[in-house]
């Protein structure tokens, strides 16, 4: 299953904190998005077995003062 993990924070973090996901072999793509009035957003596209695994992997990454959203991606 693929999941898109959006990270909103005061500064770009997504590209910096990808190492744990790379070591686990689940990271498919990563990037920082254009800053908005609400802060900076970034994303990870990961491939894991379940949503619970996605949540657990993201919890292990230190993301202080961040808003994190995890959404399943439909693979056609």
pLDDT at 41: 82
pLDDT recorded at residue 14: 63
pLDDT of residue 38: 63
Domain 2-73: which CATH number of 1.10.10.10, 3.30.70.1060, 3.40.50.970, 3.50.50.60: 3.30.70.1060
Question: What does pLDDT average to over the chain?
Answer: 86
Percent of the chain past pLDDT 70, that is, above it, reads: 88
Between 6 and 38, the more confident residue is 6
Asked whether the beta carbons of 52 and 70 are under 8 A apart, the reply is no
User: How far apart, in Å, are the Cα atoms of 43 and each of 14, 63?
Assistant: 6, 13
pTM: 0.83
pLDDT the model gives residue 64: 80
């Amino acid at each position: 299953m693929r999941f898109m993990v959006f990270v909103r924070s005061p500064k770009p973090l997504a590209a910096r904190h990808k190492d744990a996901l790379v070591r686990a072999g689940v990271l498919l793509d990563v990037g920082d998005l254009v800053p908005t009035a609400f802060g900076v957003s970034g994303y990870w596209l990961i491939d894991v077995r379940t949503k619970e695994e996605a949540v657990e992997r993201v919890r292990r990454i230190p993301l202080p003062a961040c808003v994190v959203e995890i959404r399943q991606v439909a693979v056609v």
